Amino acid sequence: MTALQVALLGYGTVGKGVYQTIHQHQARIRKLLGREVKVAAVLVKDLSKHELPDQEVILTDQFSDILGIEHIDVVIDAIVGVEPGFTYLQEAIKKGCHVITANKEMFAYHSSTLQNLAAEHGVTVGFEATVAGGIPIIQTLKKLLNANKVQSLQGILNGTSNFILTKMREEQLSFSEALTLAQQLGYAEADPANDIEGHDAFYKAVILSEVLFGEQPVWEDTVREGIAEITIDQIDYFHSLGLRFKHVASLEKAADAIKCSVKPVLVSSSHPLYQVENVQNAINIEADIVGSISLQGPGAGMFPTASAIIEDLIHIDDKEYIPCFDEELSPVSSATASVWVILGKSAIIDLPDSVSIIRKIGDTAWLVEATEDSISAVKELPCFQLLGSVDQIPKVEKVY
């Protein structure tokens, strides 16, 4: 049988990981696919930076050279930004190529267009690598949780921000030192503002929302807060109370809309996200038949991302179940109160009636109960949602 011909767009952290994985694991891949996989061409932006290990592979900075190759089965997108990736993948699909992408920003904007176009042309779109690096969350949701309806999801979806928060707490690195290290390790986006301001985690949540609910949250209604404002003093203070900062993305099917947020929260040791450290990502799913499931693994980097792409390659022709999004889910009530930690300097903090104080947990920290709407009225004090049980947090005063 002839080899499966692949064109690779991008030869950075992810592109190199895919290239090397295809070469290093050729025997295993051939066994699974029943044919060899050959990288026929690689597209880059700046030719002068690159040299490929195999001279027969075309290295080009022109996408027209890729389209000009007589037979390409699969185009793998590991470049940056919405364009030109979106245009390139549409061209590839129209030519009859399957496509696989790691480019979550592009896919968050254009997933339906690409998937509809692919269906018209009888090819498929793989996007496992767009969410949570090496964790096989997309294929799990699409192929292994079909009878279940997922009601909500909570996860650490950005490896860089989790890495930074861990290094600041464990090694007392400054924010910028930790970010530089994440960049050196190939975790961060070309523009790291995407990671630290929560855009990257938001794009991933959008992609998950389409898989889970068949639609996206309204982008403008999403709460998106980054981690750049968190100080090492806050990290240390909450650490002394047994709490860790995590940058958490949440999705919920509410009565009238999909609720989506990406924000720093405080997590106590009883919560599954507490021990998710460094570049690890984790996703907790609440589904109606199975209950609660957690998946954890490396959320960024060369080989975890290549792993997701290669798994898509192996499964490129798999049957897909038609999801039944129209079925009623019991909606999560938007009025549910949750627990928050407020940093307040004075002995007694002045809060609106809709926010009830549970107790003081440190010399400047208070535990309160409030809905998202009520807490947003407490503008002048730093406040963070708390995930997990409050039982382990030391009691410094009687119930207020």
Ligand X SMILES: N[C@@H](CC=O)C(=O)O
Ligand Y SMILES: NC(=O)C1=CN([C@@H]2O[C@H](COP(=O)(O)OP(=O)(O)OC[C@H]3O[C@@H](n4cnc5c(N)ncnc54)[C@H](OP(=O)(O)O)[C@@H]3O)[C@@H](O)[C@H]2O)C=CC1
The reply on whether position 73 binds ligand X by CB under 6 A is no
Q: What tokens appear for 1 in the block?
A: 């049988």
Partner touching 46 among ligand Y, ligand X, none, CB below 5 to 8 Å by kind:
ligand Y
Q: What's the CA gap between 158 and 288, in Å, rounded? A: 26
Establish whether 167 is a catalytic residue. Answer: no
Question: Do the beta carbons of residue 123 and residue 93 sit within 8 Å?
Answer: yes
Cβ proximity to ligand Y: between 163 and 213 the closer is 163
The residues, any chain, with a CB within 8 Å of residue 22's CB and separated by 6 or more, are: 6, 29, 37, 39, 310
- Which long-range CB contacts under 8 A does 174-180 form with residues at least 24 apart? 174/232, 175/228, 175/230, 175/232
Partner touching 15 among ligand X, ligand Y, none, CB below 5 to 8 Å by kind:
ligand Y
Distance between start and end Cα atoms, the chain = 75
Partner touching 195 among ligand X, ligand Y, none, CB below 5 to 8 Å by kind:
ligand X
Cβ proximity to ligand X: between 136 and 299 the closer is 299
The reply on whether position 84 binds ligand Y by CB under 6 A is yes
Question: Do the beta carbons of residue 259 and residue 217 sit within 8 Å?
Answer: yes
Query: Least CB distance from residue 283 to ligand X, whole Å?
Result: 13
Q: Which residue is nearest to ligand Y (CB)?
A: 12
The reply on whether position 133 binds ligand Y by CB under 6 A is yes
Q: What tokens appear for 259 in the block?
A: 């609720």
Pick from 6, 273, 300, 367 the residue near ligand X by CB under 6 A. 300
The reply on whether position 5 binds ligand X by CB under 6 A is no
Q: What's the CA gap between 320 and 324, in Å, rounded? A: 12
Query: Least CB distance from residue 377 to ligand Y, whole Å?
Result: 36
Query: Least CB distance from residue 187 to ligand X, whole Å?
Result: 5
The reply on whether position 186 binds ligand Y by CB under 6 A is yes
Catalytic residue among 149, 204, 253, 263: 204
The reply on whether position 111 binds ligand X by CB under 6 A is no
Pick from 160, 222, 234, 296 the residue near ligand X by CB under 6 A. 160
Cβ proximity to ligand Y: between 201 and 212 the closer is 201
What are the C-alpha distances in Å from 289 to residues 141, 209, 293? 14, 19, 11
Q: Assign 3-class secondary structure to 150-177.
A: EEEEEEECCHHHHHHHHHHHHHCCCHHH
If binding means CB under 6 A, how many residues of this protein chain bind ligand X? 11
Question: How many of the other CB atoms lie within 10 Å of CB of 323?
Answer: 15
Question: Do the beta carbons of residue 118 and residue 93 sit within 8 Å?
Answer: yes
The reply on whether position 301 binds ligand Y by CB under 6 A is yes
Pick from 127, 187, 303, 384 the residue near ligand Y by CB under 6 A. 187
The reply on whether position 311 binds ligand X by CB under 6 A is no
Q: What's the CA gap between 334 and 44, in Å, rounded? A: 46
Bridge partners, residue 160, by sequence: none
Applying CB under 6 A, the residues found at the interface with ligand Y are 10-15, 43-46, 49, 78-80, 84, 102-104, 129, 133, 186-187, 189-190, 300-301, 305
Applying CB under 6 A, the residues found at the interface with ligand X are 133, 158-160, 187-189, 195, 200, 299-300
Q: What residues are annotated to the active site?
A: 204
